[in-house]
């Protein structure tokens, strides 16, 4: 079974499990989605969703965020990882957006913002602006390697490989489906690949044996 055939079978399973793909981060606009995704680095979506209501109550637009001082922002997000750095980035990002006259659905613009990398930009482009993108997080990178869809050397290579095996119109939902599957059915540790509904046939025998040794 080649990668494309494997991807089609995996896609059918994911479509059966996840007919709807809601964005796990609470937001009401392109800006609040951008902020939520940026904050999600090195922490969980659940924790971000606990923090953002109070943050967005005070600053749900770049204009409002730019008027807050860094200490105030940090205090509002103090429960999540890397809060000092993220507070500085939120302040700077708001100023950058204001200087540009507002958020722009352009790759170069989004990736130039403080604290925003390619993955964060990809989420906003795909989930708010509906522009095809395939954001690769740790779940996707790990599962793509497990399933033999990519060699797993780095996230950039994984993104390129996944874009080749799934049609562009599937990218926006497929990346969320893989994240959901990783969280619910395919954890990084103590996972029996031989019993997994995808890993059991998608992973190589060598990979199944190797992970079995790690877990035992």
C-alpha separations of 33 from 30, 70, 111, 140, 171 in Å? 5, 20, 15, 20, 18
Considering 119, 153, 195, 206, which one is annotated as catalytic?
119
26 has catalytic annotation: no
161 has catalytic annotation: no
Considering 64, 88, 137, 163, which one is annotated as catalytic?
137
- Rounded CA separation 29/134 (Å): 20
- Which residue, 79, 98, 75, is CA-closest to 87? 75
For residues 208 and 199, the answer to whether their CB atoms sit within 8 Å is: yes
- Rounded CA separation 16/196 (Å): 15
For residues 77 and 86, the answer to whether their CB atoms sit within 8 Å is: yes
List residues with catalytic annotation: 119, 137
């Amino acid at each position: 079974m080649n990668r494309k055939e494997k991807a089609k079978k995996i896609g059918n399973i994911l479509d059966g499990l996840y007919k709807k793909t809601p964005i796990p981060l609470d937001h009401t606009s392109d800006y609040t989605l951008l902020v939520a995704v940026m904050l999600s680095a090195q922490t969980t979506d659940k924790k971000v969703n606990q923090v953002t209501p109070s943050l967005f109550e005070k600053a749900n637009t770049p204009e409002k965020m730019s008027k807050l001082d860094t200490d105030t922002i940090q205090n509002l997000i103090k429960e999540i990882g890397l809060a000092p750095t993220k507070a500085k980035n939120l302040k700077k990002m708001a100023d950058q957006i204001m200087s540009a006259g507002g958020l722009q659905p352009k790759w170069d613009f989004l990736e130039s913002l403080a604290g925003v990398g390619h993955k964060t930009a990809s989420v906003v482009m795909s989930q708010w602006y509906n522009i095809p993108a395939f954001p690769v997080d740790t779940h996707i990178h790990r599962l793509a390697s497990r399933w033999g869809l990519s060699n797993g050397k780095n996230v950039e290579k994984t993104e390129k490989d996944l874009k080749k095996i799934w049609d562009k119109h599937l990218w926006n939902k497929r990346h969320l489906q893989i994240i959901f599957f990783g969280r619910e059915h395919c954890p990084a540790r103590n996972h029996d690949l031989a019993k997994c509904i995808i890993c059991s046939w998608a992973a190589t025998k060598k990979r199944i044996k190797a992970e079995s040794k790690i877990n035992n």
